[in-house]
Structures are given as structure tokens and as C-alpha cells.
Amino acid sequence: MSGEPRVVVHPDKQSLADAAAARLVTAVIDAQTRNPEAQVALTGGSMGSAVIASVLRTPGRTAVDWSRVRVWWGDERYLPAGDPDRNDTQNDEAGLSALGLDPAKVHRVAGPDVSQSAEASAEAYGQTIREHGQKTWDVVLFGVGPDGHVASLFPHHPAQRLTDAIAVAVHDSPKPPPDRVSLTFECFERSHEVWFLVSGADKAEAVRAALAPGADRWDVPAAGPVGTDATLWLLDADAASELD
């Protein structure tokens, strides 16, 4: 794995989103020089959607062959397709569908409208990754919750303990909705680069805890994912306010 995480602080949320978007476009272009397809795992929430919106305004995005980008999500709420609380719906509304992606390469987690259970969705999603995901993904984006959770891996939640699986069903989530599907730490370990995108003073304590020496992912899940090439914490000034 890579060395120490690198922290980059931006003045505010918008400048963070714009800088992350430019960085993402460059990373995708670089990935397409190495492999036929770039593999990117997105995140939901306001920060994840802000980055998608900024990508649409990034001049360099025209240098990307978006038909050769394969898109995943680190987690998804187990809700019907099109539900406004789904991560993919939020990203779509931010402009994901306007990038020129091949719809067959945008891999969505099945919801209860087409799946019998969150377990069935997790198994199907894991199988799709086995079929179409490269052994190492190029970039995985994470938001971080005030409690330090990433994807739908929450502090002291049994879903963290699952081994030998790519995706897991999450029940009794401390954050609604209670049922979710999340990729596992084992899956995230196959990432060239891991980026944490964090905005807001309410996340500052979680950022400090995750970056503390010896932080345990059982207590602070954001301390877990590490890129094989790089681990970046892309923060705004408020999220970085408790760092030395």
C-alpha cells in the first residue's frame, strides 16, 4: 500500500469540488493510457454530486473518452430506482448522465423494485464486479460522515466484519434508510487511488480521528481504505479545522 495519506485543504466547498473534478478528469485520462477502460467508484451525498457538477464545467473533460469509463458506487441505499435518496439518483441529477457514459458501463445496485433482498443485491453487485471490474480500480471517491463512516460501513457495525466478499447487505444502519448495500474493505483494497472528499465543520472531528496515528477502522471506518498508489484527503477549511 501507499505511504502516509496526503492532505490537501481548499478554502471552501465549491473550490474543493472544482479542484477534485479537475483532478478526477486528469486521473481518468491517465488511466485510459494504461488500460482500455478507466474504473471509477463514485460517492453520493452533496459533496459527491458537487464534484459531478464541477466535472461538467471542467474544460479538460473533453479529452476523456467517456465511453471507456466504467462507473460504480461504493454503496447504495436499498431503495427503488429513481428514489431521490439513492446515491445514483443524486449523481444523475448533478449531471452524470450528461457526460457521455455508456449506460451499459454504469453499474447500479438493484433496489427492492427488482431485487428480493439487500443480500441478493449485494451478491449480484459483487458478481458484476467480478465480471467487469479490473483487479485494481483507478479511483475510489468517499464522503465521510460525522461519525467517521465511509460508504455504508459504520462504526462498530457487524457489516464491517464481513470477509471474503466484495459487497455486503447492511441492516439497521444508524443513518436512514436502514437497509443498504455497501462494498467491503476487502473490495476497496483493490484501488490505485483513494480520495476522501470532506466538507463542513461537522466532519472536522471525524477527519482528525481518521488521520490520527494508529486509528482503528472498527472505531473510525474512514481510517480503513488506503490506495495502492495514493490516499488523498481533499478537504475544505472547515473540515480541516481540527487538524494540526
**Residue 60 in domain:** yes
pLDDT at 3 over 70: no
* Number of domains present in the structure of the chain: 1
2 pLDDT band, cuts 50/70/90, is low
16 pLDDT band, cuts 50/70/90, is very high
Dihedral angle of Cα 60, 35, 229, 212, to the nearest 10 degrees? 70
What pLDDT is recorded for position 149?
A: 98
**Residue 170 in domain:** yes
Task: Give, for 40, the enclosing helix (H) or strand (E).
Answer: strand 38-42
What pLDDT is recorded for position 20?
A: 98
Strand partners, 60: none
What pLDDT is recorded for position 138?
A: 96
CA atoms of 16 and 47, how far apart (whole Å)? 9
- Amino acid in position 102: D
Q: What does the pLDDT average to over 141-155?
A: 98
**Residue 242 in domain:** no
Helices (H), the chain: 13-34, 45-57, 87-94, 118-132, 185-188, 204-211
**Residue 1 in domain:** no
**Residue 241 in domain:** no
pLDDT digits (tens, 9 = 90+) for 58-85: 989 999 999 999 999 999 999 999 999 9
- Residue 110 sits in a domain whose CATH number is 3.40.50.1360
Q: Which domain holds residue 34?
A: 6-236
Identify which of 168, 175, 171, 239 has the alpha carbon closest to the alpha carbon of residue 203: 239
Cis? peptide before 177, omega within 30° of 0: yes
**Residue 32 in domain:** yes
pLDDT at 163 over 80: no
